[in-house]
């Protein structure tokens, strides 16, 4: 049998397949995820019928996860938003009047000009959701159209998704580092024709990589490497599929990863397993790191982390002895109030073992062709005075040191609540649904956003966020409806429009339309293609092989040249000298940037702010450690919940997990609806027994709402009923401002009964007083009534 269809179409970007037109391009959420996989779109009469993986694309090599395969179910979903609408009833009533785009732009222009006049541009805030292909466009709108410095993620507490790790990496190494799975080479796993080597050991730490595909890392690359011989170490509170195939599974207590990493550093140094040559030549502050780690004996870490001391020693030895070894880390390292120190500790592991920019280790990666737009795009258009008003100025690492180009989301929330340092009058949200997830304290975000004068929500579907707050709802185009281009590390990717849904407008076009009304001088292009051409001409270096969108569409993706050992070759520093792009030219195990701003220059462990150790009194009532936010294959955060889709068919209900023993102690059974509760609030999910969990640990899903149910308040698509973020605090960060304790709280669990289910959380939040409302303020962290448990 000759299966050469795709081979025959190699090099073509569009062809006819019976009644279908096939277009080779890439996809970037929404809907989808962080990754931008290569796809073949099958369209018929202008309608998207089917999506396949692109076998030619080196990134995903023809494979896809289920979310891109089912994309047409969302693109053609009859419940999608198709037209601009303005609010017809009160906020929360879900009554709308369809308007034209011109009317929508008139309203926006009028409101913005009034705010400029009466309050100043800083009173406007813009938000996006994570992983979307609008992380250049919406920041540019904030800076270049509205003139505000206040762009941030949608109430993501402590910027705790990649930002803490990136701040640590940028300060320690002067660059970002990622696990080397050959993703920087178009030839991929070809060890003969690239310098790539398969890692001997891969450590998967703080994310279930095959499910989450986070940070532009296609998780199944790890499986590809396992098939080529990589051995695994997994750090996770639950036994993931990868953990079951690992030589060591370190079942860490949520939020204590820094202690574990320090103990591993200690073992590696005290057993003399570190890379002397690399440390001597390329690291700064080794003695200080060794001293900081010395107290972390495996026994001490075992007690703190609930992991066996022998396993810590074994894993540390296995990692240090492997050559090369790569660490693929994830979100959970960010989601503590000890986030930057945790990232410092893990970064130190790959530094002292010399797994730095080596084939199969952790490599230094930059964005393809120096296209560095992202959250800071257009920021330089603001005056220094306006830049100085960016919310979160009290956190110098985020503001003055420049390790964050967004405003501090908790500080935005506090400004809305208090009017300090100035009032917030307008909030713009593009594909973010912060009361479903991302907002750490969902009820608190709900109360705050209700008080904002003018709210624009721009999204794919009508969401609880749109119903509750929006004055204007603007329909967003999905990936196959957009001309766009994007890079995150490598390669640079093109997205080609193949279909149009009603009056949906792409982020690129919407921002251009708004910008032309307000500051046309900053928008010297006519439409999306014009903007892309502008970026390809002015925002990339001269190695990019295409300069117009049309040329880019012929190629679909482009890989820049990649060099290993760049520090030896003088490829990292502006002065062209060997070394790293840090003040000392070395990897700073003693982080001089942190020291400069008054933070601990070496990694340390801090007990989670709400835990059996830090809050013993609270733990009597809420004895279980709660971690949240593990991904599932079916969903991207709060996306993909629409009724009748394959995602909901395979995963109809919100699930939480506890051990069979912990469940039996409470008389609970598999599948039972239960209340998960703590001092802040409660929500209900269905129990799934997980025998791999510590009896003291509970894992709950995030992002749940029920689009098939009533949208109007008080129900709001049930967004608060199963919302684990009724139990999570906001404005409780690491003293750097980074990190927030999404994944380390306390809770209790009990069965739902008709009696105890009379007041559903959605009613409680929308009609009564929410949760933890008494005394909520800047530090309103839900410890009211339990002052003895307040963390220091």
Partner 1 sequence: MSIEYGLLVDYDYCTGCHTCEVACRKAHADWDGEGNFGIKILQDGPRELPDGKWEYNYLPMPTSLCDLCAERTAEGKPPSCVMHCPAHCLYFGTIDELSKLVAEKTHRALFTPYNE
Cα separation, 389 vs 422, in Å, equals: 9
- Asked whether position 63 contacts partner 1 by CB under 8 A, the answer is yes
Number of helices (H), then strands (E), in the chain: 27, 28
- Asked whether position 639 contacts ligand SF4 by CB under 6 A, the answer is no
CB of 241 to ligand SF4, least distance (A): 9
CB of 67 to ligand SF4, least distance (A): 4
Q: Where are the beta strands (DSSP E) in 513-669?
A: 557-558, 587-588, 624-628, 655-658
CB of 76 closer than 8 Å to CB of 51: no
- Identify the residue among 134, 328, 484, 690 touching partner 1 (CB under 8 A): 690
Considering the complex, state which of residue 51 and residue 397 has its C-beta at the smaller distance from partner 1. 51
Torsional class of 481: left (φ above 0), alpha (ψ -120 to 50), beta (otherwise): alpha
- Asked whether position 64 contacts ligand SF4 by CB under 6 A, the answer is yes
- Asked whether position 22 contacts partner 1 by CB under 8 A, the answer is no
With contacts defined by CB under 8 A, name the span among 165-173, 224-232, 596-604, 776-784 that binds partner 1: 224-232
With contacts defined by CB under 6 A, name the span among 60-68, 303-311, 562-570, 601-609 that binds ligand SF4: 60-68
- Asked whether position 612 contacts partner 1 by CB under 8 A, the answer is no
CB of 17 to partner 1, least distance (A): 8
Considering the complex, state which of residue 27 and residue 238 has its C-beta at the smaller distance from ligand SF4. 27
Cα separation, 136 vs 530, in Å, equals: 15
Tokens of 58: 């080196």
With contacts defined by CB under 6 A, name the span among 26-34, 528-536, 541-549, 723-731 that binds ligand SF4: 26-34
Tokens of 525: 């292009």
Quickly count: other Cβ atoms within 10 Å of residue 551's Cβ. Answer: 14
Quickly count: other Cβ atoms within 10 Å of residue 49's Cβ. Answer: 16
- Asked whether position 210 contacts partner 1 by CB under 8 A, the answer is yes
Considering the complex, state which of residue 35 and residue 417 has its C-beta at the smaller distance from ligand SF4. 35
Phi, psi of 366 (to 5 degrees): -125, 165
6 binds, among partner 1, ligand SF4, none (CB under 5 to 8 A by kind): partner 1
CB of 556 closer than 8 Å to CB of 38: yes
Q: Where are the beta strands (DSSP E) in 650-768?
A: 655-658, 673-677, 682-689, 697-700, 745-751
- Asked whether position 239 contacts partner 1 by CB under 8 A, the answer is yes
- Identify the residue among 12, 19, 109, 244 touching partner 1 (CB under 8 A): 244
- Asked whether position 309 contacts partner 1 by CB under 8 A, the answer is no
- Asked whether position 227 contacts partner 1 by CB under 8 A, the answer is yes
Considering the complex, state which of residue 252 and residue 339 has its C-beta at the smaller distance from partner 1. 252
Considering the complex, state which of residue 35 and residue 136 has its C-beta at the smaller distance from ligand SF4. 35
With contacts defined by CB under 8 A, name the span among 81-89, 219-227, 412-420, 727-735 that binds partner 1: 219-227
Site string for ligand SF4, 273-312 (x = CB under 6 A): ----------------------------------------
- Asked whether position 65 contacts ligand SF4 by CB under 6 A, the answer is yes
Which helix (H) or strand (E) segment is 719 a member of?
none
Tokens of 93: 């009533």
Cα separation, 255 vs 232, in Å, equals: 22
Alpha-carbon torsion 268, 270, 272, 275, what sign? Answer: positive
Strand order across the beta sheet in which 492-495 lies = 484-487, 492-495, 557-558
- Asked whether position 556 contacts ligand SF4 by CB under 6 A, the answer is no
Considering the complex, state which of residue 26 and residue 362 has its C-beta at the smaller distance from ligand SF4. 26
Of 405, 463, 454, 404, the closest CA to residue 431 belongs to 463
- Asked whether position 650 contacts partner 1 by CB under 8 A, the answer is yes
First to last CA, the chain: 70
With contacts defined by CB under 8 A, name the span among 193-201, 211-219, 513-521, 554-562 that binds partner 1: 211-219
- Asked whether position 1 contacts partner 1 by CB under 8 A, the answer is yes
88 binds, among partner 1, ligand SF4, none (CB under 5 to 8 A by kind): none
- Identify the residue among 24, 35, 254, 481 touching ligand SF4 (CB under 6 A): 35
CB of 639 to ligand SF4, least distance (A): 10
Cα separation, 36 vs 59, in Å, equals: 9
470 binds, among ligand SF4, partner 1, none (CB under 5 to 8 A by kind): none
Q: Is 184 helix (H, G, I), strand (E, B) or coil?
A: coil
Phi, psi of 326 (to 5 degrees): -125, 140
249 binds, among ligand SF4, partner 1, none (CB under 5 to 8 A by kind): partner 1
Angle at alpha carbon of residue 301, lines to 298 and 302, rounded to 5°? 80
52 binds, among partner 1, ligand SF4, none (CB under 5 to 8 A by kind): partner 1
With contacts defined by CB under 8 A, name the span among 88-96, 298-306, 621-629, 645-653 that binds partner 1: 645-653
CB of 721 to partner 1, least distance (A): 24
Considering the complex, state which of residue 76 and residue 555 has its C-beta at the smaller distance from partner 1. 76
Considering the complex, state which of residue 8 and residue 778 has its C-beta at the smaller distance from partner 1. 8
CB of 651 to ligand SF4, least distance (A): 14
- Asked whether position 55 contacts partner 1 by CB under 8 A, the answer is yes
- Identify the residue among 23, 24, 32, 490 touching ligand SF4 (CB under 6 A): 32
* 3-class SS letters over 258-300: HHHHHHHHHHHHHCCCCCHHHHHHHEECHHHHHHHHHCCCHHH
Considering the complex, state which of residue 68 and residue 264 has its C-beta at the smaller distance from ligand SF4. 68
Contacts of the segment 308-315: beta carbons below 8 A, 24+ positions apart: 311/248, 311/249, 311/250, 312/250, 312/260, 312/263, 312/264, 312/267, 313/267, 314/247, 314/248, 315/203, 315/233, 315/247, 315/248, 315/250, 315/264
- Asked whether position 72 contacts ligand SF4 by CB under 6 A, the answer is no
CB of 476 closer than 8 Å to CB of 459: yes
Cα separation, 399 vs 379, in Å, equals: 13
Residues that bind partner 1 (CB under 8 A): 1-6, 8, 17, 49-53, 55, 60, 62-66, 69-70, 72, 210-211, 218-220, 223-224, 226-227, 239, 241, 243-245, 249, 633-634, 646, 649-650, 690-692
Residues that bind ligand SF4 (CB under 6 A): 27, 32-33, 35-37, 60, 64-65, 67-68, 213, 218
């Amino acid at each position: 049998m000759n299966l050469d269809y795709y081979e025959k179409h190699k090099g073509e970007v569009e062809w006819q397949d019976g009644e279908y037109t096939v277009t080779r391009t890439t996809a970037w959420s929404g809907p989808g995820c962080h990754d931008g996989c290569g796809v073949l779109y099958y369209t018929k009469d202008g309608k998207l019928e089917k999506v396949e993986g692109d076998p030619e694309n080196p990134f995903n090599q023809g494979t896809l996860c289920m979310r891109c395969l089912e994309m047409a179910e969302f693109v053609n979903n009859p419940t999608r938003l198709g037209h601009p609408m303005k609010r017809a009833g009160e906020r929360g009533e879900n009554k709308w009047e369809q308007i034209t785009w011109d009317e929508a732009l008139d309203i926006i222009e009028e409101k913005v000009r009034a705010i400029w006049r009466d309050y100043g541009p800083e009173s406007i805030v813009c938000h996006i959701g994570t992983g979307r292909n609008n992380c250049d466009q919406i920041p540019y709108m904030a800076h270049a159209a509205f003139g505000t410095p206040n762009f941030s993620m949608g109430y993501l507490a402590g910027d705790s998704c990649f930002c803490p790790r990136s701040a640590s990496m940028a300060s320690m190494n002067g660059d970002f580092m990622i696990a080397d799975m050959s993703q920087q080479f178009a030839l991929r796993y070809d060890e003969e024709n690239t310098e790539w080597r398969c890692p001997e050991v891969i450590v998967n730490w703080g994310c279930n990589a095959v499910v989450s595909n986070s940070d532009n890392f296609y998780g199944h690359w790890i499986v590809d490497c396992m098939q080529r011989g990589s051995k695994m170490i997994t750090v996770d509170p639950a036994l993931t599929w990868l953990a079951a195939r690992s030589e060591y599974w370190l079942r860490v207590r949520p939020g204590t990863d820094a202690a574990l990493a320090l103990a591993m550093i200690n073992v590696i140094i005290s057993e003399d397993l570190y890379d002397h040559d690399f440390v001597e030549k390329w690291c700064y502050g080794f003695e200080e790191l060794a001293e900081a780690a010395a107290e972390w004996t495996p026994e001490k870490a075992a007690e703190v982390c609930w992991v066996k001391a022998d396993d810590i020693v074994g894993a540390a030895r296995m990692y240090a002895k492997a050559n090369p070894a790569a660490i693929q880390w994830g979100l959970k390292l960010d989601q503590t109030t000890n986030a930057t120190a945790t990232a410092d500790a893990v970064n130190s592991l790959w530094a002292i073992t010399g797994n730095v920019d080596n084939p199969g280790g952790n490599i230094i990666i930059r964005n393809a062709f120096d296209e560095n737009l992202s959250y800071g795009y257009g920021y330089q258009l603001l005056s220094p005075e306006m830049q100085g008003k960016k919310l979160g100025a009290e956190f110098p690492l985020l503001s003055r040191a420049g390790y964050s180009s967004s405003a501090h989301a908790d500080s935005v929330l506090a400004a809305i609540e208090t009017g300090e340092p100035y009032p917030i009058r307008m909030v713009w949200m593009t594909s973010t649904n912060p009361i479903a997830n991302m907002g750490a304290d969902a009820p608190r975000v709900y109360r705050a956003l209700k008080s904002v004068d003018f709210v624009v929500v721009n999204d794919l579907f009508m969401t609880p966020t749109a119903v509750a707050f929006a004055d204007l709802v603007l329909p967003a185009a999905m990936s196959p409806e957009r001309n766009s281009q994007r890079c995150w590390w490598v390669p640079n990717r093109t997205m080609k429009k193949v279909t149009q849904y009603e009056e949906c407008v792409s982020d690129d076009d919407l921002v251009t339309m708004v910008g032309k009304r307000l500051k046309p001088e900053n928008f010297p292009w006519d439409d999306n293609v014009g903007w892309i051409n502008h970026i390809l001409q002015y925002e990339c270096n001269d190695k990019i092989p295409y300069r117009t969108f049309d040329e880019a569409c012929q190629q679909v993706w482009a890989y820049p040249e990649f060099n290993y050992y760049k520090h030896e070759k003088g490829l990292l520093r502006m002065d062209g000298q060997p070394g790293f792009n840090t003040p000392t030219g070395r990897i700073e195990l003693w982080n001089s940037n942190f020291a400069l701003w008054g933070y601990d220059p070496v990694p340390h462990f801090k007990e989670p702010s709400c835990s059996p150790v830090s809050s013993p009194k609270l733990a009597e009532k809420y004895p279980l450690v709660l971690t949240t936010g593990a991904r599932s294959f079916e969903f991207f955060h709060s996306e993909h919940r629409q009724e009748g889709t394959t995602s909901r068919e395979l995963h109809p209900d919100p699930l939480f997990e506890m051990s069979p023993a912990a469940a039996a102690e409470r008389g609970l059974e598999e599948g039972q609806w239960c209340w998960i509760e703590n001092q802040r609030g409660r929500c209900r999910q269905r129990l799934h027994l997980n025998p791999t969990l510590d009896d003291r640990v509970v894992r709950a899903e995030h992002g749940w709402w029920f689009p098939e149910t009533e949208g109007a308040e008080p129900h709001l698509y049930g967004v608060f009923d199963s919302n684990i973020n009724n139990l999570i605090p906001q404005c409780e960060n690491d003293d750097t401002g980074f990190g927030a304790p999404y994944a380390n709280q306390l809770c209790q669990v009990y069965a739902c009964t008709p009696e105890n289910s009379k007041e559903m959380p959605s009613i409680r939040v929308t009609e009564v007083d929410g949760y933890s409302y008494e005394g909520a303020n800047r530090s309103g962290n839900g410890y009211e009534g339990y002052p003895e448990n307040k963390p220091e």
